[in-house]
Amino acid sequence: AARRATSFLYCGNALIAELSSGGVSRVFVHRPDSFAPLLHVEHNEVFVTVCDPVGTPLDLVDAAGRVAWSASRGAFGDVRAEYEDPMRVQSGKRVRSPFSLLGQVHDPETGLAWTRFRVFDPAIGSWLSSDPWGIEGGSTPFGFDGAPTIDTDPLGLDAVHRPGAKGPNVPPGTAVTVERTPEGLVPTSRPLSPEEAGRRLARGEDVYAGDRDTARAVAGRGAIGPETHPAEGENRFPHFHRSDREGGHVFFGSAE
């Protein structure tokens, strides 16, 4: 059989297209500032992606409202049963969402799911590499942190726990850069010193610190805050600004 190479195109940390030798084969549109898939474009058709409450795809629906593909999944995203529109199977225009748990891309050759930083095995609900936080990550370094039906870990770094709107699990005295999404504050770096976090803050990146004192240190001399804005999504977290209000936010603690 002829070999086929597929290239993956990302925008930030989100997969937005697959490319083959013949050009663009699939395009994916995500919800604004989120990893949750919204639209799936394939065979010159646009499909709506129907997801569960945490962003795992369950159905692809065509423009006529017909279900082109549907999946019944286990708690960790493994597909237990699938439905495909028989007419599409017959015509060779089959479609299937490549996404699993929020932020995970399914690899059909291995059955594994890929995130930016780690690989997940949905069959056993476990990561294939240990928690990048090391001992700070808890007693199960290969386990999924939290309950997959309510918590998410789109980058493979740290789970986003919806209940209580807690921030990432960051050791005191350190900080991480974060991305603000509807799912919460998603860490995008390993633990940083206050000095390194401060440099990233000055470049416009948002930061989450392990404690209030570290947050103030990251913001630097003359830090403004702490402030909270309960009506502004993830700005509900208390945060500091630099004295000139330039750059990003330095979040800490729990959301109000």
The model's pLDDT over 116-171, given as tens digits with 9 standing for 90+, comes to 889 999 999 999 998 777 766 666 788 887 778 777 888 888 777 554 556 788 88
- The answer to the question of residue 122 being in a domain is no
Among candidate residues 80, 99, 118, the one where a domain is terminated: 99
pLDDT at 39: 97
Say if residues 101 and 114 touch (Cβ distance below 8 Å).
Answer: no
What was the pLDDT predicted at 163? 46
pLDDT recorded at residue 144: 85
The whole-number pLDDT of residue 18 equals: 94
Name the H helices within 22-155: 86-91
Number of domains comprising the chain: 2
Query: For residue 254, how far is the Cα from the chain centroid?
Result: 20
Averaged confidence pLDDT in the chain: 87
Q: Is residue 51 part of a domain?
A: yes
pLDDT of residue 231: 45
Residue 197 lies in a domain: yes
So what's the pLDDT on residue 232? 52
Task: For residue 203, tell me if it sits in a domain.
Answer: yes
Domain final position from 99, 122, 147: 99
What does the DSSP 8-state code read for residue 34? S
Share of the chain above pLDDT 70, in %: 89
Tell me whether residue 201 is in a domain: yes
Has residue 157 been placed in a domain? no
> Residue 161: its pLDDT value, please?
58
Predicted model pTM: 0.64
pLDDT at 182: 60
Q: Please answer whether residues 51 and 60 qualify as being in contact, where contact means their C-beta atoms are separated by less than 8 angstroms.
A: no
Could you tell me if residue 63 is inside a domain?
yes
Instruction: Flag the least confident range among 49-53, 60-64, 138-142, 224-228.
Output: 138-142
Angle between helices 212-219 and 194-202 (to 10 degrees): 50
Give dist(CA 156, CA 95) in Å, integer.
27
Which of 61, 79, 99 terminates a domain? The answer is 99
Q: Rounded to whole angstroms, how far apart are CA atoms 204 and 101? A: 29
- 28 within a domain of the structure (yes/no): yes
Show the domain range for 192.
Answer: 175-252
Residue 198 has pLDDT above 90, yes or no: yes
